[in-house]
Amino acid sequence: MPRILRFGRRGTFWSAAAVLALCLWASGAPSVLYPVYAAEWNLSSVVTTSVFGAYPLALLVVLLVFGGLSDAIGRRRAMLVGVALITLSAAIFAVAPNVGFLFAGRVLQGVGTGFAIGAASAALVENNTSRNPRFASSMATVSTSTGLTLALFASGVLVQLAPLPLVLSFAVLFVLGLFVLGLVWCTPGDAPHTLVRVRPQAPRFPRGMMRVFMLSTVSVAVAYSIGAMFLSLGAQMARDLTGTSNVMVVGGLLAVSSLTIGVTALLLSRVHAHLSIMIGAVVSLAGLGLMAATTASGSVVLFLVWCVVGGIGYSFAFTGGLTLLNRTAPEHHRGGTLSLMYLFSYLMQAVTAIGAGALVTGLGLGVALGIAVPVLGVLCMVGLVLAAVDLVARRRIFLDAALGASPSEAA
């Protein structure tokens, strides 16, 4: 009987990175297509953004009930379940005859990502091939942005130039899902040696991590919430601003932002987590201002600047929050802790996407952004304040320890 190929640490690391890329490819694949679906099936903005929002809502349910699953059954098994469901969702999208199938596909994508994303993030940290502990978080950002960039660009090209525009994008995703499933299958088993009874269990974080957890979660939520505005409404904005129905152009414009995220993340492996969080909050605030200015001016140039600035802000905020939590969470709780962070972050993403869609449908894009931008701006400020508070607290503990006081006395 032929021996099954098994990867070492390096192969396992890059397989986990591929899982993260697939999760974001699946998330972004329909984004360019929402205006096409809306035109073909006469869908309103609130319907298309609700289809987008079904993904994080389904993901939330999985994270809430099975967020710590990979700590119990191993990262490999959790990723296999997640990737299989994402692959199945691609088949449902490819044959979708009506909007009900879109909701079903998005729900399956959300469930699959819920199983896979926390496990893959933890697997990156535990199989880090670099001496730099921040490298794993930077590669998580690079992987997700790469998946999103390729999804947006490939969907635009396929829809514009190939036949069966609403089928081929998901046929490609289906094939990629099978490929990533094979990669994960070749990783070594990492299930606990003792038999663990799998039962629904909400994710939780260890004691003493409340401040760090809140800071990391707010920072990632800033990235996800602003990203939700971009992914759910960006295609509509790009079409309105350029006056083109060329989906390849729209996909290319949207891909600028995700490409910026990945390029920025390559430079962040040596940036301190708190500094990254604070820069992410400030740059994201600037990006929100550009978003509002773009809508008011109707300028394609401003739209491109917003894509770049928003991508930089996302990269700093997401990488900083993920690095801080990865560095702090103990290994035996890492999967559950990361899943809990993703739970709250995706909750904010779902609320933002569905709320923005309802506002656009009822009040128009300009008024909707006039409401959403200040709310998200407050979230950025909260992240900035929490980062400053945590830095001051850590500095006080360090100084007291240097003067001879124990950490418990300093706290």
pLDDT tens digits for 260-282?
888 888 787 778 888 999 999 99
Q: What is the spatial distance between Cα 278 and Cα 213, in angstroms, rounded to a whole number?
A: 15
Q: What is the spatial distance between Cα 258 and Cα 27, in angstroms, rounded to a whole number?
A: 13
In a domain, 65, yes or no: yes
Query: What is the maximal distance between C-alpha atoms in the chain?
Result: 72
In a domain, 1, yes or no: no
Residue 102 has pLDDT above 80, yes or no: yes
In a domain, 154, yes or no: yes
Q: Which ranges in 29-98 belong to alpha helices (H)?
A: 34-41, 45-66, 69-73, 75-94
Q: What is the spatial distance between Cα 282 and Cα 380, in angstroms, rounded to a whole number?
A: 7
Instruction: Label residue 101 by pLDDT band (50, 70, 90).
Output: very high
In the chain, pLDDT over 70 holds for what percent of residues? Answer: 86
Q: What is the spatial distance between Cα 127 and Cα 133, in angstroms, rounded to a whole number?
A: 11
Q: Which ranges in 186-299 belong to alpha helices (H)?
A: 210-242, 247-265, 273-297
What CATH number is given to the structural domain containing 52? 1.20.1250.20
In a domain, 318, yes or no: yes
Instruction: Label residue 1 by pLDDT band (50, 70, 90).
Output: very low
Instruction: Label residue 285 by pLDDT band (50, 70, 90).
Output: very high
Q: What is the spatial distance between Cα 184 and Cα 37, in angstroms, rounded to a whole number?
A: 33
Name which of 226, 225, 247, 227 is nearest 238 in CA terms: 247
Instruction: Label residue 292 by pLDDT band (50, 70, 90).
Output: confident
In a domain, 213, yes or no: yes
Residue at token pair 């909707």: 368
Least confident of 55-59, 245-249, 263-267: 245-249
Distance from CA of residue 389 to its chain's centroid? 26
Query: Helix, strand or coil for residue 294?
Result: helix
End-to-end distance of the chain based on CA atoms, in angstroms? 60
Mean pLDDT of 348-352: 79
* Contact of 125 with 93, CB cutoff 8 Å: no
Number of domains in the chain: 1
In a domain, 295, yes or no: yes
Q: Which residue has the higher pLDDT, 410 or 323?
A: 323
Cα-flanking dihedrals φ and ψ of residue 127, to 5°?
A: -120, 25
In tens, the pLDDT along 140-186 reads 888 888 888 888 778 778 877 778 878 888 999 999 999 999 999 99
The top-scoring range by mean pLDDT among 57-71, 157-171, 351-365, 369-383 is 369-383
pLDDT on residue 406: 46
Cβ-based burial of 95 (10 A; exposed 0-12, middle 13-18, buried ≥19): exposed
Q: Token digits for 310?
A: 């928003």
Cβ-based burial of 358 (10 A; exposed 0-12, middle 13-18, buried ≥19): middle
pLDDT on residue 3: 56
Residue 17 has pLDDT above 90, yes or no: yes
Q: Containing domain of residue 48, as a range?
A: 9-190+204-410
pLDDT on residue 294: 80
Distances (CA, A) of 153 to 32, 88, 128, 247, 381: 9, 22, 29, 9, 33
In a domain, 230, yes or no: yes
For residue 75, the one-letter residue type is R
* Contact of 198 with 63, CB cutoff 8 Å: no
In a domain, 31, yes or no: yes
Residue 134 has pLDDT above 80, yes or no: no
